[in-house]
Amino acid sequence: MIRSLDPRTGEAFGPEFSATTNNEIDGIVGAAASAFSTWSRTSPRKRAFALRAVADALDAQSEALVAIADRETGLGIGRLAGEVGRTTFQIRTFAGALESGDFVDSHLDAAVDGPLPAGHPRFVRTTVGLGPIVVFGASNFPFAFSVLGGDTASALAAGCSVVIKAHSAHPQTSQKVFDIALDALVKSGAPTGIIGLGHGHEFGKVVISDPRISAGSFTGSKSGGRALFDMAQARISPIPFYGELGSINPVVATSSALADPTQFAVAYLDSLLLGNGQFCTNPSILFVPRNEEFLSALENNLSGREAQPFLSPATKELHDRNRAILSSSTQGIIIKAKEAPAKGLYTDAQVHIFQTSQISTLEDLHREYFGPTGIVITYENVESALSIINQLEGALVASIFAHESDEGVKDILSSLTRIAGRITWNSWPTGVAVTTGQHHGGPYPAATSPLHTSVGIHAITRFLRPISFQGFQDELLSSLTYENRSN
């Protein structure tokens, strides 16, 4: 049985959710497969209408949703209200893309008389939805990366049906969002099986192996995502699996960035500890020239920071285990914040900043500390910093704080470009805009596919496949392609 846990108190509350049985899973996936045959041939305009209806319904019940999510996650009313707004914004963004024809326009290659290769018949190249998709909800974003988050919204926009695994850290929030969304979709003309929801650890394993599922999308831990990726590839017919597996997000500052050491220290801590460090874009490793005023400001400001709860017992356990390994292997200074409350899902030793000039092992560099733990590496020159940066694995995002004329900036940029999916200039990595230019992905292990993004309008391409029709005329294709966008 699955039950909500209040991270502030450690107490269970609310209804119990039974793990979805294999028979129930078969029914959910079967309904999704049936719904796909209808939804995939529904015009973009009608899909956009349904997506907007979902966004409106979620906004209308935002207050109730936020209250439940706050009790289940401890993330705070303000943060969660903003996340609902982000969620409905991205749903409407995909609706707008459908209405404007983005990513769904067909491309006509007119016939050319003559023999190959110069001559060729008429081609219409377009895209079609992959099929039913399984989406794994994330723990740290109960709205924006969960039941009706960007993965589900982009898959629906692509013409796919979606089977969703609810995250055990917020089952009530997941169920309520699902109920609201399904009601809005069906009232807008979508088939009843267009989305389905399941609970329990085994649910994901069964669904990802189901031959009716055409792709998977995941936001979470490296170990969990890799296990599902391997299952998706081990199928008789392998399928795409778009896993966002967390990240070590390096931030490199030059001496010019420390003109105001105190301000920089405060900004770093604000980014590092956003959401108790449980963002996939928190600045895990900070490279700075040794500056005593900065280190002092870091200690002074951190000493006044209040502890925040973890999202779940599993998240806390993994963080504490990884931090213990780092503490035993890294030589340096440990800067601590206030003691955490004894009750609730708080780490045993509150916030830790490890300040060192070197890392003992590559494992310490590659290990994600998903929580209130940061590593500050002080360097003597750019070459010494680059010697460490060049050993880092793939990252979702990297940041540079510098002046363009600073020595070594181009070398730093070149090294970070090799490993990161997004690079920010004089801005912290937290805060992922939902926009056309966004790329939220990166080389493995940040993501299982560095070619795709899970945030921004280009996320829809994960669930579309190209198809060419040779020699057909528009009349016959109108029921199969998006030529009839006005219908």
Domain ranges of the chain: 2-245+447-484, 250-425
Phi, psi of 94 (to 5 degrees): -70, -35
Q: What is the pLDDT of residues 217-229, one digit of tens each?
A: 999 999 999 999 9
Whether 197 contacts 222, CB under 8 Å: no
Whether 249 contacts 284, CB under 8 Å: yes
pLDDT at position 478 over 80: no
CA distance 337 to 217: 36
Q: What value does the CA radius of gyration of the chain take, rounded to a whole number of Å?
A: 24
Q: Which residues share a beta bridge with 466?
A: 127
User: How far from 302 is each of 262, 298, 345, 352, 409, CA to CA, in Å?
Assistant: 11, 6, 20, 9, 29
pLDDT for position 480: 60
> Residue 120 class from Cβ within 10 Å (0-12 exposed, 13-18 middle, 19+ buried)?
middle
244 is catalytic: yes
Q: What is the pLDDT of residues 373-428, one digit of tens each?
A: 999 999 999 999 999 999 999 999 999 999 999 999 999 999 999 999 999 999 99
Q: What is the pLDDT of residues 176-200, one digit of tens each?
A: 999 999 999 999 999 999 999 999 9
Mean pLDDT for the stretch of residues 253-281: 95
Strand 333-336 with 352-356, pairing: antiparallel
Q: Which of 72, 83, 280, 368 is catalytic?
A: 280
Fold category of 2-245+447-484 in CATH: Aldehyde Dehydrogenase; Chain A, domain 1 (3.40.605)
Buried residues in 385-408 as b, exposed as e (16+ CB within 10 A):
bbebbeebbbbbbbbbbbeeebeb
Report helix, strand or coil for 182: helix
Q: What is the pLDDT of residues 344-354, one digit of tens each?
A: 999 766 788 89
CA distance 313 to 292: 37
pLDDT for position 294: 96
71: how many CB neighbours lie within 10 A of its CB?
Answer: 19
CA distance 26 to 212: 10
CA distance 71 to 35: 34
CA distance 443 to 453: 11
280 is catalytic: yes
pLDDT at position 288 over 50: yes
* CATH 3.40.309.10 assigned to 250-425: yes
Q: Which residue has the tokens 């206030």?
A: 338
Percent of the chain with pLDDT over 70: 97
Q: Which of 72, 83, 160, 244 is catalytic?
A: 244
pTM score: 0.94
pLDDT for position 46: 95
CA distance 389 to 251: 10
pLDDT for position 479: 61
Q: What is the pLDDT of residues 292-346, one digit of tens each?
A: 999 999 999 988 888 899 999 999 999 999 999 888 887 778 888 878 888 899 9
Phi, psi of 111 (to 5 degrees): -65, 145
